[in-house]
Chains A and B, each alone.
Chain A
Amino acid sequence: MSDVKIPPGRVTPWHQTNWDWRAAGNFIGGGSGTGLLFFATLAAGSADAYRIMALVALAFIGGGLTCVWLEIGKPFRAINVFFHPHTSWMTREGMVAVPVFLCGLAAAWFGGGIFVGMAALLGIVFLYCQGRILQASKGIPAWREPKIVPLILSTGFVEGAGLAAVLSAVLPGEGPRWIAGVLLGALILRRIAWTMYFKAVEQSGLPKKAMDVLRPFGAKFEMLGQLAPEILIVAGIFYGAVLPGLTLVAGLVAAASGWWLKYTIVARAAYNQGYALPVLPVRGQGEVKPGIKPGWTK
């Protein structure tokens, strides 16, 4: 992690420097991994396929957590992360990560059974924690919007379903064709979540620079990250013969667009609150003048 350098004299929001691509990596790995862990239960065409999917999922989650470990200032004190379950979603994420791995490994070992379901459900809890981690970051307006939680959940589902669709196509055994429908459903959920999130931040206001990132991103994301995979799947449904191939492509695009989304929100739109004055002070005599909120959309 780079030093937290606060620009001298800065008043308008500036991009936070505490969490970089490594933090985004945790949200990407965590979202995709837990989503995959969940959808592997549906998409795996065989026990071995499940095993591989589960291990890939755990690798994603573990990779993400490794990114975090690499980012913290005192990595050899990492155990302290477990000290504050009362209010810290980071602690909770860490605490859930342990049974996720235990259950995930058990599920992979056994290739079925109760651990599969437990791993899937704990993964969702882990994913929920990640959403709440962002929401609790009150200093970053683009993160603290409550609708970021369904967005993080839904994109986790999209990424998981997308990866599941991809892996089921390449792994032993034939996965269910309706995984395409599941992916489409997840995409629709994410479309709704994104729309709600974006409208919410538009309404509540954002640092202009954050909005300058999110608005053009949103336009591209809705086309490439949403519409494109949706069309591919719908086309596949209409032309059944090409469905597996299109689902594979759609799955890749859907997963990648989720990564793109999270990288954008975590590492590019994370402008901080900046400073504001509700009113301007009187100087000796005169009237109180209306306040200012420099660098904000509203």
Chain B
Amino acid sequence: MARYIMTVDLRRCIGCQTCTAACRHANATPPGVQWRKVLDIESGEFPDVRRSFVPVGCMHCANPPCMHVCPSTATYQRADGLVGIDYDLCIGCGYCAVACPYQARYIVHKREFAYGERPTEQEEARFDPKRMSAANKCTFCSDRVDYAKEHGLTPGVDPEVTPACVNSCIAGVLAFGDREDPNSNVSQLLAENQFFRMHEELGTDPGMYYIFDSK
């Protein structure tokens, strides 16, 4: 069975936030809700300073604490590794949000708009009332992955079935594919490069792999 993961080549990332903006578009999230975003992390002391850019979001863990704690079964894990939320079941208790060590989950109770108190035409057209007061987070664009299955396409290769953030990335940082397929783009990248996963010590078996150097 497939396990879809994302690789993040930290050598390449410049923190431009194009993925952040693309995700906001693709998933119609309201202002401030960034399922994908890039951190700007400075380390060291002048003059020995490093600055790193780190894309983060839901890690689609193989052992997702958010799912384990969810009292309503709204958070679920698919056979292909994607972790999703059924907005019809979610009670908005926030337990998943405190269980997630990646700060990936959002809960919005009040509609907010880009400009003032009224939605723009686009915001109105894409408003989804089901998300109000329910937990939400990155889906790895699961609808696209589903479409791939139905149409014989390959996520991570064919853009129409690849997550929006990956498609948008202008530095070749993000890649998406099946970890279980040794020939997939992500398996090849991981075979050729050194990588880590964030907070791996917490036993979450996260699905975002951060490449930091070649082998």
**A residues neighboring B (CB under 8 Å):** 1-6, 8-9, 11, 16, 18-19, 68, 71-75, 77-78, 80-84, 87-91, 94, 133, 136-140, 143, 270, 272-284, 288-289, 292, 294
**When A1-B92, A81-B72, A280-B43 are in contact, do A140 and B109 touch as well, CB less than 8 Å?**
no
Q: Which residues of A contact B125 (CB under 8 A)?
A: none
Q: Which B residues, 19 to 49, have Cβ-Cβ distances below 8 Å to chain A?
A: 32, 34, 39-41, 43
B3 to chain A, nearest CB (A): 20
Which listed residue, B93, B106, B198, touches A275 by the CB 8 Å rule?
B198
Q: Which residue of chain B has the shortest Cβ distance to A288 in the bound complex?
A: B213
Determine how close the nearest CB of chain A comes to the CB of B74; give it in whole angstroms: 7
Contact of B70 among A18, A84, A281 (CB under 8 A): A84
> Chain A binding site: helix, strand, loop or mixed by DSSP?
loop
- Bound together, the chains give a CA A280 to CA B210 distance in angstroms of 10
Decide yes or no whether B191 CB sits under 8 A from chain A. Answer: no
Closest 10 CB pairs of A and B: A73-B92, A73-B133, A18-B94, A281-B10, A80-B72, A90-B71, A281-B212, A273-B101, A138-B65, A87-B68
Are B198 and A276 in contact, with the CB atoms below 8 A? Answer: yes
Q: Which residues of B contact A72 (CB under 8 A)?
A: 91-94
- By a beta-carbon cutoff of 8 Å, the part of chain B in contact with chain A is 10-11, 32, 34, 39-41, 43, 50, 52, 54, 56, 65, 67-74, 89-95, 97-103, 105-110, 132-134, 194, 196, 198-199, 202, 204, 210-214
Q: Are B91 and A275 in contact (CB under 8 A)?
A: no
Assess the A83–B41 pair: CB atoms within 8 A. Answer: no
Partner of B107, one of A3, A9, A133, A292: A3
Cross-chain contact A279 with B40 (CB below 8 angstroms): no
Given A11-B41, A73-B93, A275-B39; A280-B65 close (CB under 8 Å): no
Within 8 Å CB of B133, what residues of A?
A: 73-74
CB distance from A133 to the nearest CB of B (A): 8
CB pair B40–A71 under 8 Å, yes or no, is no
Contact A282 B95 (CB under 8 A): no
Query: Which chain A residue shows the least CB distance to B53?
Result: A281
Q: A80-B90, A137-B69, A277-B41 are in contact. List 12 more A-B contacts (CB 8 A).
A: A4-B94, A4-B105, A77-B89, A77-B91, A88-B70, A91-B71, A133-B69, A137-B65, A139-B98, A277-B54, A281-B10, A281-B11
Give Cα A272–Cα B104 distance, bound, in whole angstroms: 11
Contact call B40/A3, Cβ cutoff below 8 A: no
Q: How many whole Å from A61's CB to the nearest CB in chain B?
A: 17
CB distance from A289 to the nearest CB of B (A): 6
Distance to closest chain B CB from A200 (angstroms)? 15
Query: In the complex, what distance in Å separates the CA atom of A3 from the CA atom of B87?
Result: 16
Assess the A81–B71 pair: CB atoms within 8 A.
Answer: yes
